[in-house]
Amino acid sequence: MSIVKTGTPRESAPRAVCVDPLSGILQPGFDRSHIALDKFGTRSFVLFDPELIRHCFVANSANYHQAEARKRLAEPLLGESILTADGEQSRKVRQTIGRLFNRQALDRYSARMIETTLQNLDDLAPGVHAASDLAARLALANLSASLFSNALDARSPDILAALDGVYDAMWGLPLVGEEGGVTYYPRLRRKERNEAAAAFRAVLGDIISDRLGRPADAGRSDLLDQLIALRKAQPGGNPTLERMIDDVATFVVAGHETTASVVAWTLYLLSQDARALQRARDEAEVVIHGGIAPEHWPEHLTFTLACVEETQRLYPPAPIFTRQAQKDDIAGGIAIPAGSIVLLPVRLIHRMQRFWTQPDRFMPERFLPQNRGRIGQFSFLPFGLGPRMCIGSAFGNREAIILVAAILSRFDLSYAGATPPVPELKFVMRSDNGIPMRLSAR
C-alpha cells in the first residue's frame, strides 16, 4: 500500500499522523478531514469530516454508487436486487417498501416478534450456547413471522446452514487496531462460497415458487408479496425467478444478520458489566410482567435500546460503507476523480476521541433520551445515511431490544469463552468464536 496524501492537518493534529496515515486516528487530537490512499490501483478517500461525509453520502449521493468491488463480493449471494439499485428506481422501491415499516406496522410486528421469541425460548435448554447462533435463529424466526407470513419457517435450518457456509468460506484480518476494516476485503474460498450461496438461493427459490403457485391473498400483502409485485412492475413485467430471488435474498440477509450480530454482541457486553446487566434485567421484568401490551414493549425498553445502540457504536454490524464516484467531483476543496472510492469508516468514527468521551467504554447512558442531543449527527452511523440508509433500521432496533429483554427475563447469563471475542468482518461483523454464553434458568 502506498500513501498518496493525507488530509490537511489542523493545528491540533499530531505530527505523527503525517508519517502513517492510519496511525493516530483513535488518539486525542486527531483532527484530519480525510486520508487518501492508493490500493489495488484505485484511489480511495477515507472520510472523517462531517461535511465531507454529508457531501458524498447525502447532498451529492447521486454521484456515488455502490463500489464495484463490494458488489462483486456479494453478487453470488445477493445477485442484482432492486432494493440495492441506484437512482430513481431505488427511490421508488424504497418508498413502496417503506410503507411496511411505518409506526402502525411496527407495532403489529412487535406483537408477533414477542410471541415468536417467547415460544422459541420456551424450548431453549439452559447451558452454553453460541450467542451468534442463538440470535440468528431467533432473528430469522421473527423475520419469518413478521414480514413473510411464516413462509421461511420450514426451511429456516437450511437457510441458516447455507449462510454459515458462505461466511465460513470467507476469512481475513480480524477487525483490530486502528485500521478497523478500512482497507479490509475478505479472502475467499470461492468454490465453497459459491456452493453455499447457490444452496441459499435454491431454498429461497422454492419459497418464492410456492408463493407464486398459491392464490392471491388480499389480506396478506406481506413483504414477500410486495417484493414480487415490485419486480413484476419493472419494465418487461415478466421477471425471472432469479431476479425475484435477488430481492428476497437481500432482505433475508440484511433483515436478520445485522440484528443477530447486534444481539450477540449486546449479550456479551452486558455480561461484562454487572450494573448495566441488572438495570436491563430490571427493566425487562417490569415491561414483560407489568401488564404492558406487547406492541408497546419497545417504547418502555429505553435502557435496553440504549444498550443496543451503544453496542452498535462499539460493534457496528456494517463497520464500513463504500461508494464509487461516477464523475469527477470536488468535496470540501478535495478533488475526487471519477472511479475513486469514498469510504465511511463507521467503526473508526464510532471510536474516535474527537467525537466521543471514553470511546472504548461500554456506556449505554450515552443513548438515553436526555443525552441523545449530545451525539453529533455524523458520529453515529450504524445504518448508514442518506438515500441508501437501511430501510429497516427501526424494525431491526425493535427486534433487537425484544430479543435482549426476553432472554434476560428468562436466563441469567455469563460469558463462557476463555478469551474475549474478536470481531471479524464477513458480510456483517461476526465474532471469531461465536460468543459462547452460559445461560442459567432464573
pLDDT in tens, 87-121: 666 777 788 888 889 999 999 999 999 999 999 99
Phi-psi region for residue 58, left (φ > 0), alpha (ψ -120 to 50) or beta? alpha
Task: Judge contact between 425 and 175, C-beta under 8 A.
Answer: yes
Q: Check residues 121 and 23 and name the one with the higher pLDDT.
A: 121
pLDDT band for position 125 (cuts 50, 70, 90): very high
The pLDDT, as a whole number, for residue 19 is: 44
The pLDDT, as a whole number, for residue 198 is: 97
Lowest-pLDDT range, 113-127, 132-146, 205-219? 205-219
Give per-residue pLDDT as tens, 223-236: 999 888 888 887 77
The pLDDT, as a whole number, for residue 11 is: 34
Angle of helix 241-271 versus helix 156-168 axis, rounded to 10: 80
Do the domains 1-66+319-381 and 67-318+382-441 sit in the same CATH topology, yes or no?
A: no
Q: Kindly report the backbone phi and psi dihedral angles of residue 323, in degrees, each rounded to the nearest multiple of 5, phi listed first.
A: -135, 160
Judged against a pLDDT cut of 50, whether residue 5 lies above it is answered with: no
Question: How far from chain centre, in Å, is Cα 20?
Answer: 30
The pLDDT, as a whole number, for residue 351 is: 94
The pLDDT, as a whole number, for residue 408 is: 97
Rounded mean pLDDT, 306-329: 95
**CATH architecture assigned to 67-318+382-441:** Orthogonal Bundle (1.10)
Residue of 177, 194, 175 whose CA lies nearest to 185: 175
Give per-residue pLDDT as tens, 259-300: 999 999 999 999 999 999 999 999 999 999 888 988 889 999
Domain ranges of the chain: 1-66+319-381, 67-318+382-441
| Per-chain mean pLDDT for the chain | 88
Residue of 264, 119, 274, 135 whose CA lies nearest to 111: 119
Judged against a pLDDT cut of 70, whether residue 16 lies above it is answered with: no
Q: Kindly report the backbone phi and psi dihedral angles of residue 63, in degrees, each rounded to the nearest multiple of 5, phi listed first.
A: -85, -5
Residue of 403, 433, 395, 440 whose CA lies nearest to 417: 433
Q: Which CATH class is domain 1-66+319-381?
A: alpha beta
- The top-scoring range by mean pLDDT among 26-40, 48-62, 85-99 is 48-62
Q: How far apart are CA 331 and CA 251, in angstroms?
A: 32
The pLDDT, as a whole number, for residue 230 is: 86
Q: Kindly report the backbone phi and psi dihedral angles of residue 39, in degrees, each rounded to the nearest multiple of 5, phi listed first.
A: -145, 135
The pLDDT, as a whole number, for residue 99 is: 84
Q: How far apart are CA 388 and CA 53, in angstroms?
A: 13
* Cβ neighbours of residue 268 closer than 8 Å, sequence gap 6 or more: 131, 415, 421, 435, 437
Q: Check residues 268 and 79 and name the one with the higher pLDDT.
A: 268
Rounded mean pLDDT, 233-262: 89
* Cβ neighbours of residue 34 closer than 8 Å, sequence gap 6 or more: 6, 7, 45, 46, 47, 48, 49, 52, 334
Judged against a pLDDT cut of 50, whether residue 7 lies above it is answered with: no
Q: Check residues 217 and 146 and name the one with the higher pLDDT.
A: 146
* Burial of residue 266 (number of CB atoms within 10 Å: 0-12, 13-18, 19+): buried
The pLDDT, as a whole number, for residue 15 is: 35
Alpha carbon of 130 to those of 21, 47, 265, 286, 366: distances in Å?
Answer: 37, 35, 11, 27, 28
- Residue that the C-alpha cell 468464536 belongs to: 433
The pLDDT, as a whole number, for residue 58 is: 95
The pLDDT, as a whole number, for residue 82 is: 78
pLDDT band for position 13 (cuts 50, 70, 90): very low
Q: How far apart are CA 343 and CA 188, in angstroms?
A: 22
Task: For the chain, give the secondary structure using H, E and C.
Answer: CEEEEECCCCCCCCHHHHCCCCCCCCCCCCCCCEEEEEECCEEEEEECCHHHHHHHHHHCHHHEEECHHHHHHHHHHHCCCHHHCCCHHHHHHHHHHHHHHCHHHHHHHHHHHHHHHHHHHHCCCCEEEEHHHHHHHHHHHHHHHHHCCCCCHHHHHHHHHHHHHHHHCEECCCCCCCCCCCCCCCEECHHHHHHHHHHHHHHHHHHHHHHHCCCCCCCCCCHHHHHHHHHHCCCCCCCCHHHHHHHHHHHHHHHHHHHHHHHHHHHHHHHCCHHHHHHHHHHHHHHHHCCCCHHHHHHHCHHHHHHHHHHHHHCCCCCCEEEEECCCEEECCEEECCCCEEEECHHHHCCCCCCCCCCCCCCHHHHCCCCHHHCCCCCCCCCCCHHHCCCCHHHHHHHHHHHHHHHHHHEEEEECCCCCCCEEECCCEEECCCCEEEEEEC
Task: Judge contact between 43 and 337, C-beta under 8 A.
Answer: yes
pLDDT band for position 8 (cuts 50, 70, 90): very low
* Cβ neighbours of residue 88 closer than 8 Å, sequence gap 6 or more: none
The pLDDT, as a whole number, for residue 183 is: 67
Give per-residue pLDDT as tens, 127-142: 999 999 999 999 999 9
Q: How far apart are CA 141 and CA 263, in angstroms?
A: 14
Q: Check residues 72 and 90 and name the one with the higher pLDDT.
A: 72
The pLDDT, as a whole number, for residue 71 is: 79
Angle of helix 241-271 versus helix 190-212 axis, rounded to 10: 110
* Cβ neighbours of residue 212 closer than 8 Å, sequence gap 6 or more: 228
